[in-house]
Amino acid sequence: MTELHRQIQLHPDRANQSRSRRARLIADVDAWTFRNLPSPAVGARRHEQTLGEIIDRMAAAAARAFELLMADSPTGARMHTQWTRLAELEIGYSDLARDLRDGRCYLPAHRAHNPVPVQGQPAETPIEPSQHRTGPERPVVIIPL
């Protein structure tokens, strides 16, 4: 996904193609997540984003950070700010992975990730903990970045 964000920056004339590919990847991650995450504990809090959206945000931040490495001063304030933001996102991802594994949190249902929102289409249909797949507990597999 990082490369897709980079391509959008480098080739704005082909941005729609890259955005469509990103949307498909986000949807694939979300579908995998829905099928594979264990049921959360009763009273678990709902996270505001899907896993695909979180990974996409991290990829966008990584693309910006790597772009600055090529074009900015390594000691500049922008460089520091962007790499700090990327580190914060990675820490948040680790915290989320732990909360999902421990059943303290659950993710919203995966959404239809359209590059352009469709007017009148609901943003999401949340899935409450009682609606998650039941069955034997499966380990949470977190996609390494």
Give 40's contacts (C-beta < 8 A, 6+ positions apart).
Answer: 100, 103, 104, 105, 106, 129, 132
Answer yes or no: is 23 within a domain.
yes
Answer yes or no: is 129 within a domain.
no
What does pTM read for this prediction?
0.70
Measured between alpha carbons, how far is 124 from 88 in angstroms, rounded to an integer? 26
Q: Rounded to 5 degrees, what are φ and ψ at 9? A: -70, -45
Answer yes or no: is 25 within a domain.
yes
105, β-bridge pairs: 45
Amino acid, res. 63: A
pLDDT at residue number 127: 38
Q: pLDDT per residue over 86-127, tens digit each?
A: 999 999 999 999 999 888 999 987 554 443 333 343 443 333
2-10 and 51-71 helices, crossing angle to 10°: 50
More confident site: 110 or 57: 57
Amino acid, res. 138: R
What is the helix (H) or strand (E) element at residue 46, kind and residue range? strand 45-46
Answer yes or no: is 41 within a domain.
yes
**Which residue range(s) make up the domain with 23?**
2-114
Answer yes or no: is 61 within a domain.
yes
Per the structure, the count of domains in the chain is 1
Nearest one of 91, 88, 90, 101 to 139, comparing CA atoms = 101
Answer yes or no: is 36 within a domain.
yes
Answer yes or no: is 94 within a domain.
yes
Answer yes or no: is 80 within a domain.
yes
Measured between alpha carbons, how far is 139 from 97 in angstroms, rounded to an integer? 11
Tell me the two tokens of residue 17.
């193609």
